[in-house]
Amino acid sequence: MFKLVDEHFEEALIVALMAVMSLLIGLQIFMRYVMGASLSWSGGTGALSVHLGHYLGIAYAVRMDAHIRVAMVSDLLPLRGGRRCAC
């Protein structure tokens, strides 16, 4: 059970935050254009969801080793120098 939570914790939180953001956007659109009044708290909650999603996405990418790497510098170096470079 703990292994499942450990492997998929970031994924589940990212999906939940995206669902919250989508629901808030839809609710805000409905409230503004149909009801004629906007929600005062949805902007802050949406911004917080975006920021938390970014941080969790960074953690997930580090775990999956999925960050984009710029390999131009190490490709230009000779073979021995390219191995030492941590690019």
Report pLDDT for 23: 92
Q: Give me the mean pLDDT over the 73-78 stretch.
A: 69
Report pLDDT for 3: 80
Report pLDDT for 43: 83
Is the pLDDT reported for residue 86 higher than 70?
no
Closest CA to 46 of 61, 76, 25: 25
31: Cβ–Cβ under 8 A, 6 or more apart, which residues? 37, 38, 39
pLDDT tens digit sequence for 15-64: 999 999 999 989 999 999 999 998 889 888 888 888 998 898 888 888 88
Is the pLDDT reported for residue 69 higher than 90?
no
Q: Give me the mean pLDDT over the 10-18 stretch.
A: 90
User: In whole angstroms, how large is the CA radius of gyration of the chain?
Assistant: 21
